[in-house]
Amino acid sequence: MTASPQELAASLARTGYLCDDALATVAFLALELDRPLLLEGEPGTGKTALAEALAEALGLPLVRLQCYEGIDASQALYDWDFPRQILHLRAVESVAGDSDLEEVEQGLFSERFLLARPVLRALRESPAVLLVDEIDRADDEFEAFLLEVLSTHQVSVPELGTVVAETPPLVVLTSNRTRELHDALKRRCLYHWIDHPSLERELAILRARAPEVPERLAHQVAALVHRLRDADLVKEPGVAETLDWARALHRLGARELDVESAARTLGAAVKHREDVERVRAALDRLLAG
């Protein structure tokens, strides 16, 4: 779909996602080699946004599977629409004979009543981008289930048979590293650690995603966010918070960042009470650089 990492980076830039050469290269190789891409990094570094940007840049549907504690294979694969099945059965029960009922019961487990979950949808709608978001929140058993999908690009639905993707989806897995993932999963993926962007790159992201924000204000916000990331906070602000803060200040008519405007809008960037109190008390020093 793209001829080189540089071409892919340019396509991503047109969506507003700016990446460095290393990230563009590993994403390009994931496409070329049909390998899943595992992205790790602190929250807010653009892992999920990359999958969204890839889908937009490549003109593919994005199918998202949000992981959480206790998720199992059925919630990722498929389920049956039991309420509709029961209603259908009752509708024909009064008029159908025994042989007809038997035929109706067999038809209850057909495409008509199938609820495709994200993994099955991504295989059937291929080509697509399958985003497995925050895989570190799931457990070992769910990881093991994913291994088959990542290796074979197929799943089995006992009532309907095996579903094989005509074109393997581009699978992007993200992890905030709240726990270590198993080597068996990592071996099937290309890997990249995403750091917070440099000040220059964050400014470029601000210009691309929030061009309405004045240059001086954008620079001040980005510089302050970088200082906050070195301030030993409970939760460091990510790029999304930088964008929110700059947009909030601009919306309030600020032309530059000072102690008063920063304190009023601090909740756009800092989301823990302890961090808010610590930052508010140090705003004079932080703004002075």
Parallel, antiparallel, or unpaired: how do β-strands 129-133 and 114-116 relate? unpaired
Give the rounded percent of residues in the chain with a pLDDT score beyond 70. Answer: 91
Q: Which two structure tokens, joined as six digits, stand for 155? A: 């799943």
pLDDT (mean) for 10-20: 93
pLDDT confidence of residue 269: 95
pLDDT confidence of residue 96: 58
If one compares 66 and 82, the residue with the highest pLDDT of the two is: 66
pLDDT confidence of residue 97: 53
Q: Which two structure tokens, joined as six digits, stand for 213? A: 């924000």
* Residue pLDDT, tens place only, 18-50: 999 999 999 999 999 999 999 999 888 999 999
Q: Structural domain boundaries of the chain?
A: 5-77+117-194, 83-113, 199-283
Q: Which residue has the tokens 């809008």?
A: 265
pLDDT (mean) for 162-172: 89
253: left (phi over 0), alpha (psi -120 to 50) or beta: left
pLDDT confidence of residue 93: 65
pLDDT confidence of residue 144: 86
| CATH number at 5-77+117-194 | 3.40.50.300
Q: Is the pLDDT of residue 91 over 90?
A: no
Q: What pTM does this model have?
A: 0.85
Q: Is the pLDDT of residue 110 over 80?
A: no
